[in-house]
Amino acid sequence: MPLAGAAVALFHGFTSGPHSVAPWAQALADAGARVEVPLLPGHGTRWEDLESVSAEDLRAAARRTVDELLRDHEDVAVAGHSMGGALALDAAAHRPVTAAVVVNPALRFASPLAPLAPALKHLVRSVAPIADDLVRPGVSEHAYPRTPVAAVAQLGRIQAAARRGLPRIDSPVLAFASRTDHVVPARSITALGQGLSPGLLTVRPLYNSFHVATLDWDAPLIHEESVRFIAGLLGSRAHRAVQGPRA
């Protein structure tokens, strides 16, 4: 098995849950990895429960998952979709991970109103969700039926923290980017490329999926290339530690 001995911390998206990345998690596990997909704070219950969750709560939950895996595994990769991608990148900036794999990572907002959420939350409690952005029919990510505006404000803080941390990442990053995404703008991938050190980022375009590509037609491609990418880096973290910092 190409990922035998490795571990992956895999994070789901905003207002969604582990269901949205379950096939991806299974593919990594089938390749031999130990995979942890935590239910992030404020998710999997009622949308009202997400209102009181802070960016720090979500970032800490992601890091705890990585820390638990690092206690038992030399090679730990982080992965995630949308907000989960931002959390994976944030963790990679602060933990010694072997690789990061992200699908349509949410480093920027598409909506021009989203950055105003810190003020708008006092006027509007919730808005209609932007969920199930898929080409494939009959599939759902099971996101909340409403999106709390206070949580959008916290998502903005996660995005800002993830962008600030990009220069700290020293592990290779594979990013899958849907050519048509109605939730996360193309400038999110641009921000990723601008923030990372040269040579660390590989971008794989997806032509047959919208935002929730982990459940869309390109999911098998994500599974196959994720396994190949992580497998090709096993042992590299230890090698980099021996060789010292990059020039």
DSSP 8-state secondary structure symbol assigned to residue 104: S
Question: Considering only CA atoms, which of 7, 78, 23, 14 is closest in space to residue 213?
Answer: 23
Confirm or deny that 11 is annotated as ligand binding. no
Residue 239's H or E segment, with its range, is: helix 236-243
**Which residues are known catalytic residues?**
82, 181, 211
Strands (E) across the chain are located at 7-11, 34-36, 76-81, 99-103, 126-127, 147-148, 173-178, 201-206
Structure tokens that stand for 187 in this block: 């400038």
For residue 192, what are the CA distances in angstroms to 53, 78, 96, 175, 199?
Answer: 25, 15, 19, 9, 12
Q: Which residues contact 70 (CB under 8 A, 6 or more apart)?
A: 76, 95, 96
The Cβ of residue 242 has, within 10 Å, a number of other Cβ atoms equal to 6
Are 133 and 181 within 8 A, CB to CB?
yes
Confirm or deny that 14 is annotated as ligand binding. yes
Scanning 49-186, the segments in alpha helix (DSSP H) are 55-70, 83-92, 117-120, 149-165
Q: Give the Cα separation of 154 and 58 in Å (integer).
A: 9
- CB-count burial class (<10 Å; 0-12, 13-18, 19+) for 88: buried
The binding site comprises 14, 83
The binding site for substrate comprises 14, 83
